[in-house]
Amino acid sequence: MQVFFCCHLFSLESKMAAVFLTWVLVSAIFFEPFVNARPSPVASDKRLNSSDNEHLVTNLPGQPDVDFRHYAGYVTVNEKNGRALFYWFYEATTQPDDKPLVLWLNGGPGCSSVGYGATQEIGPFLVDNDGRGIIYNPYSWNREANMLFLESPVGVGFSYSNTTCDYSALGDDFTANDAYAFLQKWFLRFPLYRKRAFYIAGESYAGKYVPELAELILDRNSADPSLHIDLRGVLMGNPETSDAEDWTGMVDYAWSHAVISDETHQIIRKSCNFNSNDTWSNDDCNRAVDELFRQYNEIDIFSLYTSICIGDAASSDDKALQLMFTRSSTMMPRIMGGYDPCLDDYAKAFYNRPDVQKALHVSDGHRLKNWSICNHKIFKEWSDSKPSVLPIYKKLIAAGLRIWVYSGDTDGRVPVLSTRYSLGSLGLPVTKAWRPWYHQKQVSGWFQEYEGLMFATFRGAGHAVPIFKPSESLAFFSAFLQGESPPSSR
Ligand SMILES: *[C@@H]1O[C@H](CO)[C@@H](O)[C@H](O)[C@H]1NC(C)=O
Ligand SMILES: *[C@@H]1O[C@H](CO)[C@@H](O)[C@H](O)[C@H]1NC(C)=O
Ligand SMILES: *[C@@H]1O[C@H](CO)[C@@H](O)[C@H](O)[C@H]1NC(C)=O
Ligand SMILES: *[C@@H]1O[C@H](CO)[C@@H](O)[C@H](O)[C@H]1NC(C)=O
């Protein structure tokens, strides 16, 4: 990749610089082209003659026949540095003009929303287990909404920057600002969606991205009504939320699910101060947390009761996974889960095919992009991570957004206890007491409603809930969009 110049200012004042550059970009872009790209008055115009035909996906290898359109390609979020984010957008299967727009984000940081969300969890095309094709997902969330998947920030999946030092400036703020710039530019390409009811959903480290982006949208909405985005709510699954509570929950969960001994648990509880910024200076704490990761390295931390991928055990990704379980990190390692634990490998094989890259408008089919499901370097070098997004929750609640949080209860990485401790510390009044919710006459999990927030569990689901409970997840998503509690009777 070509490097135009190096932005020294990024190393010291990355946040300010990123905010400033994005602001410059955003103001530069919007005023002018937005006027030219007014929504067409007649919806059917879009069907016949859309400005986005360039990104229409028409020949995805092995794609099952479907009667909705989907689009993929790059959106430049910073012209000066040459930053471009890759998206894949699926119109709703029926009546797309009447359905909301939902942005889905995966976490990492450094992991791909296309590799996980779109092709392992909730998109219409899932990677097939021969690694060479895709299969139709009857529980795709685009039955209920127009679904937009974004690979974010640069360095993730196909998304890139032509300025290498952008990569060392990555963090929460950088990500939110680029995602916001992306949305505004994406609306220029898809003007019919600009005024659409909009939701943001995501899981894992996106537990930080989602509220951060929501907050930015609210702030920008009030700063400039002409750029208004009709944000209605957020949905988060097994979300990283507040580091101190997340760590405590992870430790208690490992103990209560027989992963670590009573002794190890007691040492951690006694010697680790997860509220401190100096947690790891205590040797007893270090050793005991190492022991926890040693045990989790034997199984799949993201799904306690399923098998691990043994097939290609020597793959570099597996080694990277080990590295990522370091105690110094508060970050979310990559996901390995699902009924077929080797899904990550199939996704990698599929997205590195020349014909697939060409169909998705990421390369000409000759000079290929190097796609991987998670970028470990991004994970390790993440420079700005908010210790807690709970203060943002308060702001979103005050703004009247719909906030739903769910948790697969067999995940050990951001376990249900972490989320309960985090949400508990908000001290919100309970409006509807803990009770089961049902799907097809079975208990899918439990839920509790608070003033301003809903929390639900998924019984027997790992970290990436829809992989394990596709039908339940779709029903839950539909309830979320309608703002109705999930069914609390059989
Ligand atoms: C689509 O619309 C543009 C602008 O109105 C027009 O210039 C162009 O010829 C149209 N293309 C087709 C295929 O109708
Ligand atoms: C990045 O550089 C390549 C090669 O010069 C160029 O084709 C591409 O358009 C640039 N990307 C952006 C977003 O400017
Ligand atoms: C830790 O927190 C204290 C008190 O808030 C602060 O003075 C100190 O600089 C912090 N240390 C680091 C390494 O961030
Ligand atoms: C892709 O990245 C991997 C890991 O960084 C590297 O080993 C491989 O050579 C790269 N492939 C290409 C085609 O650049």
Catalytic-role residue among 113, 140, 463, 473? 463
CA of residue 57 to ligand 3 center, whole Å: 50
Predicted TM-score of the model (pTM): 0.85
Q: Is 226 part of the annotated catalytic residue set? A: no
Least distant ligand from the CA of 352: 4
| pLDDT band per the 50, 70, 90 thresholds, residue 332 | very low
> Assign residue 460 a region: left if phi > 0, alpha if psi is -120 to 50, beta otherwise?
left
Helix, strand, coil fractions of the chain, as percent rounded to 5 = 40, 20, 40
Nearest ligand to residue 50 Cα: 1
| Mean pLDDT value across the chain | 85
Closest ligand relative to 280 C-alpha = 3
**Distance (Å) from CA 418 to ligand 2 centroid:** 42
Q: Among 140, 159, 204, 444, which one carries the catalytic annotation?
A: 204
| CA proximity to 393, closest of 234, 244, 246 | 234
Mutate to test the pocket of ligand 2, among 3, 21, 162 (most ligand atoms within 8 A of CB): 162
Dihedral (CA of 355, 105, 89, 309) sign: positive
Residue length of the chain: 490
Let me know how many helices (H) and strands (E) the chain has, helices first: 15, 13
User: What SS3 state is found at 50?
Assistant: coil
The atom number, within ligand 2, closest to the CA of 79 reads 14
Is 97 among the catalytic positions? no
Active site residue 265: no
> Rounded to the nearest whole angstrom, what is the distance from the C-alpha of residue 387 to the centroid of ligand 3?
13
Q: What is the pLDDT of residues 441-469, one digit of tens each?
A: 999 999 999 999 999 999 999 999 999 99
Going by C-alpha positions, the residue among 485, 462, 470, 472 that lies closest to residue 204 is 462
pLDDT digits (tens, 9 = 90+) for 246-303: 999 999 999 999 999 999 999 999 999 999 888 889 999 999 999 999 999 888 898 9
For residue 345, what pLDDT band results from cuts at 50, 70 and 90? confident
